[in-house]
Structure 1
Amino acid sequence: MLTAVVLFLIATPVAAQEPAPAPDRPLPDAAQEARAQALFDDIRCVVCQHEAIADSPAGIAADMRGLVREQIAAGRSDKQVRDDLVRRYGDFVLFTPPLRGGTWLLWFGPLAALGAAGAGLWFASRRRPTGTEPLSAAEEADLARILADQAVRPDPDAKPSDH
């Protein structure tokens, strides 16, 4: 009985995995397939997010490759294919999103952050260090007394070889 339970627990994660996508079917026209392959490199997998659909093993990437091939076979231009994917998944699906109001942060955010950090460092370096006032005569006397007490006080952990 224990063996059956252990085997069930081992097999459960395997059964819960996503099934492998169907193999890709290239377009019969070599020029159309070349266009599709070029588009695959410009389109981000919405599951993996750091991979193009050309490299992604995810099932949704295989579906997206099929969709791109269908649209190219139907005679749509590359721009129309990209526009349809943006309509479905948003600007994030493109590795190079278009420059418009909603994507300004994507394009110029890193540059603005770098500029703000540089300005902060420049202002911090321009700040004048604050000077310290010299000690008064009473403070000098207190300091001398403290230092003299410490020099005379023996260290309880000291060994004869430390003197």
Structure 2
Amino acid sequence: MKNTFFFILLSAILSFAAHASIQIYEFEDLEQEQQFKELSSTLRCPKCQNNTIADSNAELAVDIRQKVYEMTKQGKSKQDIVDYMVARYGNFVTYKPPFTLATAILWLGPIFVVMFGFGFIFVRSRKKQALINEDESWNQAKEARLKALLQQDDDGDKQ
């Protein structure tokens, strides 16, 4: 009885792996297949953040792959398919979003951060150098006064 239950349980667990399927796409010519592969590896899955639609197993990615396949089979150009996806999912669906007012912070933000950082370091080092120079002049004046006091003390001890 235990063996039968064990084998039924093992069969049920192994059947889940068989449920996973691989989608096979057939094309009329090599050019369509290349276009589909290129688009699948350049379009980003909106749900998975940093995965292409070829790498993602999310339902949304499967739907996008299917739509790309259908549009490719219809003879649509690569740019037509990308434009359709951008219109539907926004510029996020491409890995290289165009420079627009909405994406300006993505393109210019790192430059401003680096420039601000170097400017901050430059100003801070200039202030520190000014303080060091000020301290040196103060120390030289203080040292001259100290030497004068010591010479007075030495002169007084000799008499």
Same fold (TM over 0.5): yes
Write the mapping of 1:106-121 to structure 2, written as runs, cut at 5 A: 106-121=106-121
Question: Percent identity among equivalent residues?
Answer: 32
Write the mapping of 1:19-34 to structure 2, written as runs, cut at 5 A: 23-34=23-34
**4+ residue stretches of structure 1 with deviation over 6 A?**
none
Question: Partner amino acid for 2:100?
Answer: R
1:33–1:69 CA contact under 8 A, matched in 2? no
Aligned-pair CA distance for 1:69 = 1.3
User: For residue 104 of structure 2, what is the aligned residue in structure 1?
Assistant: 104
TM-score (norm 2): 0.63
Distance in structure 2 (CA, Å) of the matches to 1:97 and 1:125: 38
Select the residue among 129, 132, 136 that pairs with 2:131.
129
Question: Partner amino acid for 1:31?
Answer: E
Higher normalized helix content (fraction of residues): 2
User: For residue 151 of structure 2, what is the aligned residue in structure 1?
Assistant: none
Cα deviations across residues 20-47 of structure 1 (Å, max 9, x unaligned)? 6772424342210111111112111111
TM-score (norm 1): 0.62
Distance in structure 2 (CA, Å) of the matches to 1:45 and 1:85: 11
1:21–1:62 CA contact under 8 A, matched in 2? no
Larger Rg: 2
Give SS of 2:57's match.
Answer: coil
Aligned-residue CA RMSD in angstroms? 2.4
Give SS of 2:131's match.
Answer: coil
Structure 1 residue runs of 5 or longer lacking an equivalent are: 1-18, 135-163
Distance in structure 1 (CA, Å) of the matches to 2:41 and 2:111: 25
Cα 1:22–1:78 change in 2 (3 A) is: same
Moved more, 54-63 or 25-34: 25-34
User: For residue 71 of structure 2, what is the aligned residue in structure 1?
Assistant: 71
1:36–1:72 CA contact under 8 A, matched in 2? yes
